[in-house]
Amino acid sequence: MPVSQAAEALRINRCTVSNLLNANAANTPNIALRLSAWLGTTPDAWTGQQATWDLWHAGLQPRPDIKPLDRHVAETSPRAYRF
């Protein structure tokens, strides 16, 4: 199917469809709603795939050295909130 035909069906710009297909743009909730209506899927499927893709890309980046929270200190802190 030509990109222009998909864009027309989704009622979005042809460049947007091209960018999505070539991984040059992220899927948005708006696009997820359009894709789900067009393809008979759920928006959650599309946003979930985007989140998985984003996490994978984030995992490729160097991670800062972050020390885990010492739960005992956090729980005994005078400023700790009790719910």
Q: Which domains does the chain have, with CATH numbers?
A: 3-60 (1.10.260.40)
φ/ψ of residue 27, rounded to 5? -70, 135
Render the burial of 43-52: b for 16+ CB within 10 Å, e for the rest: beebbeebee
Q: Hey, how many other C-beta atoms are within 10 angstroms of the C-beta on 83? A: 2
| Local confidence pLDDT in tens for the 83 residues of the chain | 999 999 999 999 999 999 999 999 999 999 999 999 999 999 999 999 999 999 999 999 999 999 999 887 767 766 766 66
CB 17 within 8 A of CB 10: yes
